[in-house]
Amino acid sequence: MEPLENDRFLRALLREPVDRTPVWMMRQAGRYLPEYRATRERAGSFMALCKSPELACEVTLQPLERFPLDAAILFSDILTIPDAMGLGLYFAEGEGPRFERPLRTAAEIDRLGVPDPEQELGYVIDAVRTIRRELRGRVPLIGFSGSPWTLSTYMVEGGSSKEYAHVKGMMFDRPELMHKLLDTIARSVTSYLNAQIAAGAQAVMIFDTWGGILTPRDYREFSLRYMEQIVAGLTREAEGRKVPVILFTKGGGGWLEAMADTGCDALGVDWTLDLGDARRRVGDRVALQGNMDPAVLYASPERIRQEVVTILDSYGKGSGHVFNLGHGIHQHVDPEHAAAFVEAVHELSVPYHD
C-alpha cells in the first residue's frame, strides 16, 4: 500500500496535533452530485451500484475529485448484512428499502447465521480493496456498518418504519428473543468490519440511525451494549497504525458520556448539541465528529462560512475535532455550496491549531 499523503483525519480522531481541522461529509458520494446520478443510472439500480466493486469505487472517489476532502468513505448500504443473512433486500421505487422475509418468529431468528464477509459480502470487501488501490494513498478510507439495533429495526419491521410496532413489541414482550437477534447481528457486524479493515479500511464508523427512538434505559440495553460488544471485538491496528472507531447515534445527544465509555475513539454528534458542551462532557476520552446542520448548505456561501466559524469557535482550540455535517448531505444541495463548506473549514480552522 502507498503511504498516506494526508493523515489529518486519522490524527484528529486520535486527538493528535493537526495543521487544520479535517473535514468530510456523511453521504458525500450521493444524489446531490450529477456525476453520481449518472453512474447510478448506468448501474441500473441502487443495489447494482452497491454490488459492483468498480462502480462503488467510482462513486466513492467522485466527491474527492471535486472537493479537497480529508477522507473517503466506502460507498455501500447499511442493509448489506441482513441481505447477506437471506432476508431479501429490495428497493421499492420511492419507498425506501424493504425485506421480502422480515423476522417475526423465534424460529426465524434461531435460523439466522453470521455471514462470511469474504463470501456473501465479498462484493463489499472487494470494493474496499478496489477503492484503497485507486485512492493511491491520497486520504484514508472509512469503512462502516449499521448498528445492531438499527439493523434490527429494518429486519423486524421489513423496511423503514414510523411507529416501530413490531420491533418494539418484540423488545418489550420478548426481550430474550431480541437479545438473541442483536447478538447475532453484533457478531456479524464485528466480522464484517474486521474484514473491511483487513481489506484496507483505515477507520470504521458505526451508524446507529435509530438509537435515538429509544428510552435511555432501552438505548443502553438494546443498542449501546451491542455497539460496545463490537468495539471490543474489532481489529484496532493495521498497517502499523491505529484503526480508529467512530460511533454515531442520531438523536443520542443525551447519552454522550455512556457512548464515550464504550472504548471507541470518537463520537459523531448531530446539530442538536452545542459542540463545546459536548466536548466538556466527554473531556479527553474521545474525539468528536460533526456537527453542522446539513440545511445550512441551502444558505449562501457567506452564511455557510459564518456557521463554520461558529462551530470551530464552539469546539475551541486543539485537536480532536473532525468537521462534518450532523447528518447526511441533502440531495437538493448545490455542489458549489458543499465546495464553499469544505474550503471554509480548511481556510478558517488554521488558527485553532497553532
- The residues annotated with a catalytic role in the active site are 27, 31, 40, 77, 154
CB nearer to a copy of itself: pick between 32 and 36: 32
C-alpha–C-alpha distance, residues 291 and 282, integer Å: 15
C-alpha–C-alpha distance, residues 5 and 140, integer Å: 9
Length of the chain: 354
C-alpha–C-alpha distance, residues 201 and 129, integer Å: 8
Using CB under 8 A as the criterion, which residues of the chain lie in contact with a copy of itself when the complex forms?
163-165, 168-169, 172-173, 212-218, 251, 253-254, 271-274, 277, 293-296, 298-300, 303, 307, 310, 330, 332
Specify the amino acid at residue 168.
K
CB nearer to a copy of itself: pick between 150 and 319: 150
Copy the grid coordinates of residue 318: 486543539
CB nearer to a copy of itself: pick between 91 and 164: 164
Copy the grid coordinates of residue 331: 440531495
CB nearer to a copy of itself: pick between 44 and 216: 216
Query: To the nearest whole angstrom, how small is the minimum distance from the Cβ of residue 274 to a copy of itself?
Result: 5
CB nearer to a copy of itself: pick between 254 and 316: 254
C-alpha–C-alpha distance, residues 288 and 280, integer Å: 11
Query: To the nearest whole angstrom, how small is the minimum distance from the Cβ of residue 338 to a copy of itself?
Result: 14
For residue 211, give the DSSP letter.
G
C-alpha–C-alpha distance, residues 67 and 319, integer Å: 22
Query: To the nearest whole angstrom, how small is the minimum distance from the Cβ of residue 208 to a copy of itself?
Result: 13
Residues with Cβ within 8 Å of 156's Cβ and at least 6 positions away in sequence, in order, are: 102, 103, 104, 166, 167, 170, 181
Q: What angle do CA 200, 205, 211 make, to 5 degrees?
A: 155
Specify the amino acid at residue 295.
A
Query: To the nearest whole angstrom, how small is the minimum distance from the Cβ of residue 86 to a copy of itself?
Result: 26
C-alpha–C-alpha distance, residues 254 and 259, integer Å: 10
CB nearer to a copy of itself: pick between 192 and 271: 271
Query: To the nearest whole angstrom, how small is the minimum distance from the Cβ of residue 325 to a copy of itself?
Result: 12
CA torsion through residues 100, 49, 154, 183, sign: positive
Query: To the nearest whole angstrom, how small is the minimum distance from the Cβ of residue 285 to a copy of itself?
Result: 20
